[in-house]
Structure 1
Amino acid sequence: MNAKTTWRKSSYSANAGTCVELASSLDRIRDSKDPQGPTLRVDVAGFVQAVKGGRFDR
């Protein structure tokens, strides 16, 4: 991971902190509760489409 990577936290992270952060490179996400933990490489456009489509509803 690039040392200059910045992370954007979801605007919903304030709600119990159960959200994700997106890398500035737009190719990785991570758990906002565990910023030192693992990251997941993703196709961001596909991931956003899946979220908007409700595929990650509880």
Structure 2
Amino acid sequence: MKRGLVFWFTGLSGAGKTTLAESVRERLRGRDIKTSILDGDDVRSRLHRHLGFTETEIK
């Protein structure tokens, strides 16, 4: 069985987590390593629209 890794990038909204994750993904893909990114903003917008995660509310 292959072993996997999980990287968590945490921080305030707008801190650059997604930018960093995309940079790491490109480097890993360059080594033929499969990657996935779960962006909290995307997850919230698809699953929890009614919970109040507008730009103003999350800052």
Please tell me the TM-score bracket, short chain as reference.
under 0.3
Judging by fraction of residues, say which structure has more helix: 2
Of structures 1 and 2, the one scoring higher in RCO (CA 8 A, sep 6+) is 2
Alignment TM-score, normalising by the size of structure 2 = 0.22
Judging by fraction of residues, say which structure has more strand: 1
Structure having the higher Rg: 2
